[in-house]
Amino acid sequence: MRTGIVALMLSAALALAPAAAAKGDTFVYVWDGVPGVLHVFTLDTQAGTLDTLEGSPFLGLDTLAPLNGWGMTLEAARLNNQALLFSGGALAVTMWTVGDDGVPVPQLVTGAPLLVPTAPSAGTATLRIGKRLFVYTSQGTTSGIRGFEFFVKGGPGFFTDLVGDTLTGDTGNTPIGIDAVKRRVVVADQSGTLSSFTLNASGQLTAAPGSPFPSPATGSYNCQLEPSAKRVYVADAGPLVHVLSVDKQGVLAPIENSPFDTGLLGGGAGVEVLKKPFVLAFDLDATTPGDPLVSVLRRDKGGQLALVGEPQEVPGMTAIDVHAVDSTATWLVVASDTDDHIQVLRLDLNAGTATQTDDLAVDFTDINGAAIVKL
């Protein structure tokens, strides 16, 4: 009888304990900029459920608040089979290595932008060119963009070199959103411009002729290039997505029929361009319970968007601060520091639905980015 009681008590204790992890698992990372910590969860990709990773949240090196990146201040990448995370903060960028158990470890990097306290990072983007890894950060208070190359040099430890530094005026007054795909970098300035750059093989930035361009959006916080880098999608402060073509020199121009209605009601829309021919739009500012927060739009070869189904509610949430989609475009993770919740939604892109499969209460402070990593 005593053995049975002990076993029952042990089972109950294990059920309440944070989850451990193993290589091959999928992890969700949420960057909470004000305390400077990463919240980490394991994602069950069969059931769509989350468990808090043991030890979470993990303290970083930059514990001052970042400029609000509207969900664009955390990026995942790989270098020499090492999973990496880059979080934007008050001193620019922190690099984290990720172990097979999913645990993130902030790294002191020789010459790292963390050690160059020039301006806070409002947005962060990574780009692989061959075997080289480049990281670009928009810096809202200096109206610029900085580029760095991260690499390993003859042993343990990581190093970085500055590969580009464009100064005031090249990215508008307050650059926030940033994305990098196929030697293209685009920056959205909340004051009303879009900046476009091309990159050479060494990661150096060259502004496109005429950049920065007037933004068609009333407020630009969030932008993403499509996988081909031929078009950029810009979320409007209203419930619209603007689509602009990107020519060989990086020049931006609105496509026919842009902007496209997302069907959402509030402002501050976010956007997620998928590898599949779809775009997700998010309402970052809804305040009325029951308002839809997510919509699915089909993307054709010319960048035209069409709403699929009806905009989706997210039960228990009144706003979405950060969002991330897994590599299969099956699972959408959304989190809110207004509601102090993180949720998993199962996507059916063809039906335009996002169905809740899990909901965890988490004590967030000021979350600024999310990433999903499969090890």
In this structure, what token pair is assigned to residue 324? 């991330």
Query: How wide is the angle at C-alpha 69 spanned by C-alphas 359 and 140, nearest 5°?
Result: 170
- Asked if residue 12 belongs to a domain, the reply is no
Give pLDDT, residue 14. Answer: 37
- Asked if residue 298 belongs to a domain, the reply is yes
- Asked if residue 1 belongs to a domain, the reply is no
Q: How far apart are CA 180 and CA 134, in angstroms?
A: 10
- Asked if residue 76 belongs to a domain, the reply is yes
Q: How far apart are CA 137 and CA 149, in angstroms?
A: 12
- Asked if residue 236 belongs to a domain, the reply is yes
Element of type H or E holding 245: strand 240-246
Match 């991330």 to its residue by tokens. 324
* Residue 345's CATH number: 2.130.10.10
CA-CA-CA-CA torsion sign (3, 7, 9, 10): positive
Residue 13, φ and ψ in degrees, nearest 5: -65, -40
Structural domain harbouring 93: 21-374
* pLDDT tens-digit profile, the chain (375 residues): 434 443 433 344 434 445 555 667 999 999 998 788 999 999 999 999 999 999 999 998 766 554 444 446 899 999 888 899 988 776 667 889 999 999 999 886 665 544 444 556 778 899 998 888 988 888 766 667 778 888 766 555 666 666 655 443 455 556 678 899 999 999 888 778 898 999 888 888 888 999 989 888 877 778 899 999 999 999 886 688 999 999 999 999 999 999 999 998 876 568 999 999 999 999 876 667 778 899 999 999 999 999 999 999 998 888 888 999 999 999 999 999 989 999 999 999 999 999 999 999 999 998 889 999 999
Give pLDDT, residue 150. Answer: 80
- Asked if residue 10 belongs to a domain, the reply is no
- Asked if residue 235 belongs to a domain, the reply is yes
Helix (DSSP H) and strand (DSSP E) numbers for the chain: 1, 31
Of 312, 270, 323, 278, nearest in space to 297 by CA: 278
- Asked if residue 16 belongs to a domain, the reply is no
Give pLDDT, residue 84. Answer: 93
Query: How wide is the angle at C-alpha 331 spanned by C-alphas 330 and 337, nearest 5°?
Result: 160
Residue 115, φ and ψ in degrees, nearest 5: -90, 5
In this structure, what token pair is assigned to residue 222? 């969030």
The greatest distance separating any two alpha carbons of the chain, rounded to the nearest whole angstrom, comes to 80
76 touches 29 (CB < 8 A) = yes
**First-to-last C-alpha distance (Å) of the chain:** 42
Number of domains composing the chain: 1
360 touches 50 (CB < 8 A) = yes
Match 């059931």 to its residue by tokens. 47
pTM of the prediction?
0.89
Q: How far apart are CA 231 and CA 210, in angstroms?
A: 17
Instruction: Give the E-state strand segments of 60-143 in sequence order.
Output: 74-79, 82-89, 92-98, 104-107, 123-129, 132-139
